Every structure is written in C-alpha cells, then in structure tokens.
Chains A and B, each alone.
Chain A
Amino acid sequence: MVLTNYLLALSAVLFIIGVAGVLVRRNALVIYMAIELMLNAANLAFVAFAAEFGALDGQIAVFFVMTVAAAEVAVGLAILVTIFRTRKSVDIDTLHRLKG
C-alpha cells in the first residue's frame, strides 16, 4: 500500500486546479481563492511527508503556511476593497492603468 503516493497525486491535482484558476479566471476574488487552494495543496504534501517520515517538522511548516495565508488574505482583500472603491470592478483585465 503506497498511501503517500496517492496523497502526493491529490496534492498535485489540487495545485494544478489552483494554477488553472489563477491563469483562467478574471475575478480577482476567485484568483485569491485559487491561491489559497495552492497553499492547501502544499500543506497536504507537508502533512503527507510528515506522516511518511514520522517527523513532526512538516506539520509545523503547515502552521507557518497558514499564518502567511492569513496575512496574505487580510492585506490582499484590503487592497481589493480599495481598488473596488476607485474602479467599481474586481475584473483584473480592466486594471491595466497605472494612473489611478
């Protein structure tokens, strides 16, 4: 039984879906969510390897990833709300003017 391989495959699939979300979608909120999905895929790989090698360090790494994700979401959503106030849109394709 090679459970770890299946977990890594699941992690890879989730990461690819996240990449597709960042590349394909135009709603900035959905792009943030796709980034969260990629971070979650990385977390799954961390926990799978922690279980594989019996080392807790992988689970500690998950906490740090979670913290970075929380900080990123807080600042990112604040930026998004600020952009929405001036541009009335979260479509990233329309955000191509450097002058506000």
Chain B
Amino acid sequence: MSIDLLVLLVLALIAVGAALGMLFSRNTVYSVLFLVLVMLTLAVLYLILGAPFVALAQVTVYAGAIMVLFLFAVMILGPQKLAGAGGPIGWQRPVAFGLTLLFLVEVVYAFAAKVGKLGALSCAEAGFGSPAAIGDLLFNRYLLPFEVTSVLLLVAAVGAVVLTRE
C-alpha cells in the first residue's frame, strides 16, 4: 500500500464521516461546520491531485465565503426546532430512504459494469494546475464563459439584495 493510497483513504474516511455528520446532526450550526470539514478535506485532496489553485479557491470561496454566508443565514433564522417526525407528509421519509438505497444500488452497478480500469494519475509534470496555467486557459479559451460568469454573479448579487429588501 503506497503512501498516496493511505492518505487518500484517511481523507476519504474523514470526508464521508463529516458528510454523514452533516446529514444527521440535529443542530444546524454543527451541520455547517461538518460541511466546512468536508470542503477542507476535499481541498487537501485537490492538492494531492495537482490542483493547487483549485484547492486555494476551495478554501477561500467555498469554506470561506459560501459557508460563512450559510452561518449568517443560520444565525438570522435562529436555531430551528422542527416538529417531530410525521408532519403533513409523514409517509415521505421512508420513501426517501428507499429511493436513496435504490440510487446507491444504481451507482454500485454502474461502477461494477461501466467504470473500467483507469490508469494511474498523470499529473506529475511540473506546472500542471499552477495559477499561470489556469489563468492562461481561463483568459484565452474560456474567456466568454468567464465573462458570462461575472454577469451571473452580478445578477445573483442584485437578486439577493432585491429579495431581502424590507
């Protein structure tokens, strides 16, 4: 067992455990913090995968900006004590579990049947995923999507302000 595989397994265990913690924790603040842990774990994985700039963006944009926004929302809305099980559509929960299991079976089947043997990673060459290479690609081949993205962000910001206006 190589050291890469060992690190990957440890990170995967942390990520899956934190994701399950997010799913099952009663307190929404704990859910947010568990999700931050998942994102930091994925950032470390990105570093291993030769994507340092993506890892940095993951930490600053996702774990930083987006999750702080979530924390703000949780604080504004207050700790929610939802009514116990049942509710207006109580039959929905077992159906949801069943559908999730069905999806799990489907994914396992897809893995067993369709995903062939992929080779080892080929990101060893120097400069792969560096900010310079990313910027070169982003501002040449992907210039138009990049500009459209900025318009999308502007619309989202204006929309959020308009929606929350008193």
Q: A interface vs B, CB < 8 Å?
A: 1-10, 12-21, 23-27, 29-30, 32-34, 36-37, 40, 43-44, 47-48, 50-54, 56-57, 59-60, 62-64, 66-75, 77-82, 84, 89-91, 93-94, 96
Contacts and interface: CB of A to CB of B under 8 A. Distances in A.
Interface in B126-149: 128-129, 133-134, 137-138, 142, 145, 149
Contacts of B31: 29-30, 33
A33 B53 CA distance: 23
Q: Main SS of the interface on chain A?
A: helix
Interface in B1-53: 2, 4-5, 8-9, 12, 15-16, 19-20, 22-23, 28, 31-32, 35, 38-39, 42, 45-46, 49-51, 53
10 contacts: A3-B121, A4-B120, A16-B104, A20-B96, A24-B93, A36-B62, A68-B152, A78-B164, A90-B77, A93-B88
Contact of A56 (B35, B128, B160): B128
B120 A1 contact: yes
Q: Main SS of the interface on chain B?
A: helix
B69 A73 contact: yes
B138 to A, nearest CB: 6
How large, as a class, is the contact surface on chain B?
35 or more
B51 A23 contact: no
Contact of A60 (B73, B119, B142, B156): B142
Contacts of B142: 60
B82 A74 contact: no
Contact of B149 (A6, A12, A67, A74): A67
Contact of B145 (A21, A56, A64): A64
A100 B12 CA distance: 44
B42 A40 contact: yes
A5 B42 contact: no
Contacts, number: 232
Interface string B69-92: 110111011001011000111001
B163 A29 contact: no
Given A24-B93, A67-B149, A91 B83 contact: yes
Given A27-B28, A36-B66, A6 B5 contact: yes
A53 B9 CA distance: 22
B120 A3 contact: yes
B80 A90 contact: yes
